[in-house]
């Protein structure tokens, strides 16, 4: 298992459009991937799960992956968040 914490800096938080980018990126990896906040943990490959977290600007999230490409998956998703969802 590999994980990393990152803060959402996008003004609108992790709403539909950036969540879609995040999920598309997560689905490129074979590993199981989760997003964890202080409240709960959801499947990072599920749009409804990610949106249900209601992640706002300034919120820290923990990205967790388990599988053959876990480090690459987490590092790639952290980079996407840090770029404000611009690839």
Structure confidence by residue, pLDDT tens digits, 31-78: 999 999 988 999 999 999 999 999 999 999 999 999 999 999 999 999
Can you give the pLDDT at residue 68? 97
Can you give the pLDDT at residue 21? 95
Query: Hey, what are 87's tokens?
Result: 């690839």
Which single residue is written with the structure tokens 């990072």? Answer: 44
Can you give the pLDDT at residue 87? 64
User: Helix (H, G, I), strand (E, B), or coil: what is residue 85?
Assistant: coil
Domains of the chain: 2-82 (3.30.1340.10)
- Catalytically active residues, by annotation: 15
């Amino acid at each position: 298992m590999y994980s990393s914490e990152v803060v959402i800096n996008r003004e609108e938080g992790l709403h539909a459009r950036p969540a879609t980018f995040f999920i598309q990126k997560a689905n490129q990896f074979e590993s199981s991937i989760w997003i964890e906040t202080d409240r709960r943990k959801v499947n990072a490959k599920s749009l409804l799960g990610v949106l249900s977290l209601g992640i706002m600007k300034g919120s820290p999230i923990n990205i967790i992956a388990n599988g053959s490409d876990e480090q690459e998956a987490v590092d790639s998703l952290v980079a996407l968040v840090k770029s404000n969802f611009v690839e």
